[in-house]
């Protein structure tokens, strides 16, 4: 990616029972377009951890995008969704005014295949201000339904949004894109004319060259001008290009909550602490356990600008 303004290295972070690699937010760059949060999960085997489950926890003001490279996750939420996600498919949950969900290792894998690997990305995308209070919803898109194509020996997949003359069926709420690019050979990539807004590249595996520099896996390269998205992809490399138009208002993050209004974050925090079921209902068929609000967390420590 030419004119790289910032390189972010993956950092370890805990999400309960296991460590992930955190990519966004970063102190020098809180958002890329409407993307506010990215965690790289794994790769990790079931045998290495007694419990890969994430207990029920709440969200407001955002959509979550789950995309797996390996393994499976069973998604449950407070609006009645129950969906097993497998590699290449998309789980897209819109929290809106408030939702609770859990993510668990499917029982058949836990019991019969302890060497199974879990590996993927968890992404948060902030909702436009006027849509922050919409009703929560959930959509599952199968891998076969995502636009996929090949050009000059390079494989492309448009996971979410609209770009490069194609549109994903994932129902996004603002102009954005999330693109997978894979190549077994060294190739030049120039897709800037098909992008817009801010753009970033996450190198999952392999490496890329931009100008005189070569960047390895587990780095994000960020450019504020998407039209400069030109780079050389090295053999056996997979990258993800994501971005779009930034939202006009500043966004704040408090734990699992995102909003333009700090007062909404404080209310969501108290509603969760008080277990206000009118705002954050129980998940039917799940356990009574839940993720408590973290002790000592300061309000708005992760504002997005």
**C-alpha–C-alpha distance, residues 180 and 31, integer Å:** 19
Task: Name the burial class of residue 265, with classes exposed (0-12), middle (13-18) and buried (19+) by CB atoms within 10 angstroms of its CB.
Answer: buried
**C-alpha–C-alpha distance, residues 33 and 78, integer Å:** 28
Q: How many Cα atoms sit within 13 Å of 275 on the Cβ side?
A: 8
59 has binding-site annotation: yes
Q: Where are the alpha helices (DSSP H) in 63-172?
A: 107-112
Q: Judge whether 181 and 154 are in contact, CB under 8 Å.
A: yes
57 has binding-site annotation: yes
101 has binding-site annotation: yes
**23: preceding bond cis by omega (within 30 degrees):** no
75 has binding-site annotation: no
- CA nearest neighbour of 220 among 68, 38, 66: 38
Binding residues for Fe cation: 57, 59, 101, 103
Binding residues: 57, 59, 101, 103
């Amino acid at each position: 990616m030419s004119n790289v303004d910032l390189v972010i290295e993956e950092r370890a972070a805990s999400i309960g029972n296991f460590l992930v690699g955190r990519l966004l937010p970063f102190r020098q760059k809180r958002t890329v377009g409407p993307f506010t949060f990215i965690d790289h999960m794994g790769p990790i085997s079931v045998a290495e951890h007694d419990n890969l489950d994430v207990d029920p926890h709440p969200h407001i003001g955002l959509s979550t995008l789950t995309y797996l490279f390996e393994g499976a996750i069973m998604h449950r939420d407070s609006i009645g969704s129950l969906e097993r996600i497998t590699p290449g498919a998309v789980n897209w949950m819109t929290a809106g005014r408030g939702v609770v969900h859990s993510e668990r290792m499917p029982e058949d894998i836990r019991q019969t295949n302890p060497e199974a690997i879990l590996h993927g990305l968890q992404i948060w995308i902030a909702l436009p201000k006027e849509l922050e209070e919409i009703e929560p919803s959930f959509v599952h898109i199968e891998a076969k339904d995502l636009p996929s194509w090949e050009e000059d020996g390079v494989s492309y997949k448009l996971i979410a949004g609209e770009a490069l003359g194609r549109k994903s069926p994932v129902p996004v709420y603002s102009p954005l894109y999330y693109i997978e690019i894979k190549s077994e050979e060294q190739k030049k990539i120039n897709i800037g004319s098909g992008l817009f807004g801010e753009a970033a590249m996450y190198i999952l595996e392999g490496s890329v060259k931009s100008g005189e520099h070569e960047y390895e896996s587990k780095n994000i390269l960020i450019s504020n001008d998407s039209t400069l998205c030109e780079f050389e992809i090295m053999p056996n490399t997979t990258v993800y290009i994501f971005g779009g138009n930034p939202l006009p208002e500043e966004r704040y993050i408090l734990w699992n909550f995102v909003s333009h209004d700090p007062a909404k974050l404080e209310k969501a925090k108290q509603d969760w602490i008080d277990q206000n079921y009118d705002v954050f209902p129980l998940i039917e068929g799940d356990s009574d356990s839940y993720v408590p609000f973290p002790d000592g967390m300061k309000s708005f420590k992760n504002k997005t600008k």
